[in-house]
Every structure is written in C-alpha cells, then in structure tokens.
Amino acid sequence: MMKPYVHTQVGSVLLAIYGVVIPIVVYLVGVTGFALLPLAALILVVLAAVAFATLRVSVDDRIILIRFGPGVFSRAFSLGDIDTHEVVRNRWYYGLGIRYIPGGWLFAVSGLSAVELQMKNGKRYRIGTDDPEGLSDAITEALRGSRG
C-alpha cells in the first residue's frame, strides 16, 4: 500500500490579480452608491478568488483527486482509466483555472508546470503543479500498485 500524496499549490498569480481587482471593484461599489452591477461584480470576483485560490492534488491507491479552493470545483481520475502520464510544460497563453486547451483540459492555479494524464479513452488532462516530479512519481507508484 502506497503512502498517499497530498500537495496544495497556492495560486499566487491569481491572488495578486484579485488583490488588484477587488479594491478597484470595492471603490466602484462605493462611488456608485451600491448599484447592482458593481456589487454583483464584487461578489463574483470574491467568489472566484476563494474558489481558485488553491489547488490541492491527492493521489492514493485508487484515484487522483484535484480540488480547487474549498472544494466547490473538483475532479477525480480513477487510476484504472489512466494509460500514461508525463511531466509537461504549459504554454503561457493556456491560462489558469479550468479550461479547454488544445488536446484536452487544464486544471491550474499558478505556473506553467503540469502533469498530463493520457486516459485509455483518448482524453487528456493536465494538472498544474509546482511539484511536477513529486506528482509524477506519486502517480507512477500508485499505478504500479494498482496494476501489479
């Protein structure tokens, strides 16, 4: 039985952006006298900041689980569905968050490093991380245990 891997990455770039945007929106809310549109924008920006502040990745002997922030957005990958995986580098314009990129889906909060999962059904997923080698090693160990 493998030792579970758990790693949380802080979305420092996103938090910096929110750190600039939130005060601007707060100012606009104050200037407009709490008009509905700036207030709604403030609420959405704060919710996005909380939802995408961190990305927690855990690997055990059954699944890879990714969870943004407090867990509003999460995704699980069964080890039995994974064909291969590799450390990759994302292009800067792929962005951050949950998004479709050429060839598959990206889940990231900061940086350009990721581990790409090639699924047996042909789908591809990239998990952004500031610990690509550690995540890749944990997946290798988990796959070895689940297939062996």
pLDDT in tens, 66-121: 999 998 899 999 999 999 999 999 999 999 899 999 999 999 999 999 999 999 99
Distance, in Å, from the CA atom of 137 to the CA atom of 121, rounded to the nearest integer, reads 23
The CATH-assigned architecture of domain 54-147 is Roll (2.30)
Beta bridge partners of 73: 68
Q: How large is the average pLDDT for residues 22-26?
A: 83
pLDDT in tens, 114-124: 999 999 999 99
**Is pTM beyond 0.85 here?**
yes
Strand ranges across the sheet with 113-119: 82-89, 113-119, 124-128, 104-108, 97-101
What pLDDT, on a 0 to 100 scale, did the predictor assign at position 21?
84
pLDDT value, residue 34: 67
pLDDT at 148 over 60: no
Domain ranges of the chain: 11-50, 54-147
d(CA 112, CA 130): 8
